[in-house]
Structure 1
Amino acid sequence: MDISRLIRRMPAVLLVLLISSAAVFAGPQAEGGSQDVLMQRIEDGKTIRIGFANEVPWAYPGDNQDPLGFVNQITLDILESMGYTNIEPVVTEWGGLIPGLKANRFDIITGGMYILPSRAENINFSEPIGVFGESFIVPAGNPEGIESYDDIRESGVTMVTGSGYSSVEHAKTVGIPDENVITVPGNSEILAAVRSGRAYAGAGTYFSSLYLAEESNGDVEVTDPRKNPDWTFNWAGIGFRKSDTEFLQAFNEALAEYMGSPEMMENVAEYGYTESQLPGDITTEEVVQRLE
């Protein structure tokens, strides 16, 4: 049978239906037969795009957008051990990290993100890369005596934190009224709000708070993270798309070999990461279950 002559004689509607059906069945093959987007990018010779915000010392851009910070260092070391060095940094605001990953604007979140159930619903996390406490920057001398989330609730002072930070959820948990919580894009805005008196306490990780205190030239000081309850301590992970399960499994295997190794501790020392931040034996699944 002459197929080309048959096609020319087909009614237009039937021809459209035939083409549409073929496209549906061809879909998976057109994507290389894999739902793992990152592995497909690598096979196509494309870069691995790491997404992070300006969060010193976790992950931040240096000259020419070079990826700096201990989470970027951990990620780059692991990727190199896996044989991947074609890396492209993508800098965005903190609140754009998860939306950007889901929209395929980058492939891995290296921003130093806490493993929270609400986030785990949207992305997959690597196994934990560290455990960290939260603290506040407050005016030098801390005249209001603010040391914890409970203190903020009871005193009625205004707290500022970053949009999408875990401290937003912690404030809700302890009953701090929404009108007493200001959210801003990131750390520099947190410092500006406390300096100007717009807010009394700036909530964030202990590492980030130390950095802001250093930047303030003595205008603010840092509270002791141990004054907050145990449930405010968080394990951080590296974020992946829900579809990238094959790559994540390989990444976790390399992470297990790397975590706590002499190479790691030497490479992250300049950013203030010490053995006290090592995550221990807890898994990401266990972290999520503890917080649910």
Structure 2
Amino acid sequence: MRIYTTRTGRRRSVLAAVACVIALTASACGLGGDDAAAVTYAEAKESGRIKVGFANEAPWAFLDEKGELTGYAPVVARAVLKKLGINEIEGVVTDFDGLIDGLRAQNYGFVAAGMFINPKRCEGSAFAIPDYQVGSAFLVPKGNPSQINRFEDITKANVRVATLGGAVENGYAEGSGVPPNLIEPMAKQDDILRAVRNGDVYGAAILDVTASWLVRNNPDANLEVTQSFQYGSRPDVGTFNFRIGDDQFREDFNRELRALHESGEWLRLVEPFGLTAANEPNPAATTEQYCAG
């Protein structure tokens, strides 16, 4: 059994315990040949199987203890794809900052990682409609002795803070005047949790939903989450993203995704991963607005 990795478009084998293929139905991990899942919409419509890129970041898209792909994005994607006649998804784990490159290289059909929409990312991929909104927060030691509640506090306290490589928090820190030596981008969520827990960094700047998930699922880590805040004049919104030019796929996906929100089914699907009605995006928010900056 293998799991695919695509930071630079390459693949490598890993232990079977971490698993590789996640499907809507209980099927084996098909690899290569006629069993390989599709990376284009047309092929997926014909075969009923498609590859998706994800970054193994809980609760957005991650492998559970059984090696099965779960999280907000895969669960919502499955519900949408089923309406399009695609009943199985195969996960391709990729470092977060390599997801768009992997998409353009056709390592998978689309990205299911809950990625924020912003102008830079819109240059290399085509985003679906906004699917959720969220704030930022800091994962810190209990009691927050250095009182880190905003990015500006990092500079005042002169402490090092971890971020996820390629995530928006890196730009937020830079925009807030935080010296580069106080920000430590890391490739994986597990690396961030371990660094904060071990005291290698003071804390981490991540999404509030992510921080709450990590605290809830690591009760012995002696960590807490600061109050959620919004950077800028509007909330960040995230969704799925597609290759530029895959217009039919994106339009069909948008239609069914919008229907999930309108029916209330979306909220039922995402609640187990810590999202609530407060994470429903403003219906007036558009992908075009966020791509424009």
Alignment TM class, shorter chain as reference: 0.7 to 0.9
Which residue does the alignment assign to 1:60? 62
Distance in 1, matches of 2:201 and 2:233, equals 24
The equivalent residue for 2:99 is 97
With the length of structure 2 as denominator, give the TM-score of the two structures.
0.81
1:154 is aligned to 156
Structure 1 gaps of 5+ residues are 1-36
Distance 2:215 2:65 in 1: 23
In structure 1, distance between residues paired with 2:189 and 2:291: 26
Name the aligned partner's letter for residue 119 of structure 1. R
Q: Percent identity?
A: 30
* Structure 2 alignment gaps of length 5 or more: 1-38
Amino acid at match of 1:70: Y
User: Following TM superposition, by how much is the alpha carbon of 1:259 offset from its aligned partner in structure 2, in angstroms?
Assistant: 1.4
- Are residues 197 and 218 of structure 1, via their aligned partners in 2, closer, same or farther at CA, if it must alter by over 3 Å? closer
TM-superposed CA distance for 1:258, in Å, is 1.2
Question: How many angstroms does 1:175 deviate by?
Answer: 1.1
- Tell me which amino acid in the other structure corresponds to 2:254: N
Partner of 1:286: 289
Query: In structure 2, what residue type is equivalent to 1:66?
Result: E
Structure 1 vs Structure 2 CA RMSD = 1.9
Contact 2:161–2:203 (8 Å) recurs in 1 = yes
Name 1:69's counterpart in structure 2.
71
Q: Residue type of the partner of 2:152?
A: D
**1:233 CA displacement:** 3.2
Distance 1:123 1:153, change over 3 A: same
Over 3 Å counting, the alpha-carbon distance change for 1:76 and 1:223 in structure 2 is same
- Conserved 8 A contact 1:114-1:235: yes
Residue pair 1:52, 1:111 contacting (<8 A) in 2 also: yes
Number of equivalences? 253
1:64 shift after superposition: 5.8
SS in structure 2 at match of 1:217: helix
- CA distance 1:144–1:64, shift in 2 (3 Å): closer
Cα distance between partner residues in 2 of 1:64 and 1:242:
34
- Counterpart of 2:125 in structure 1 is 123
Identify which of 222, 227, 246 aligns with 1:224: 227
Contact 1:61 1:91 in 2 (8 A): no
Within 5 Å, give how 1:137-152 maps onto structure 2: 137-152=139-154
Secondary structure of the corresponding residue to residue 252 of structure 2: helix
1:242 aligns with 244
Classify the secondary structure of the residue corresponding to 2:220: coil
The alpha carbon displacement at 1:151 in A equals: 1.0
Letter in 1 for 2:244: K
| Structure 1 residue ranges, 4+ long, deviating more than 6 angstroms after superposition | none
Which has the larger helix fraction? 1
1:223-252 C-alpha deviation (Å, 9 max, x unpaired): 1113x5444731001010112111111111
Q: Rg bigger for which structure?
A: 1
1:78–1:255: 8 Å Cα contact kept in structure 2?
Answer: yes
| Whole-angstrom CA distance in 2 between matches of 1:134 and 1:204 | 6
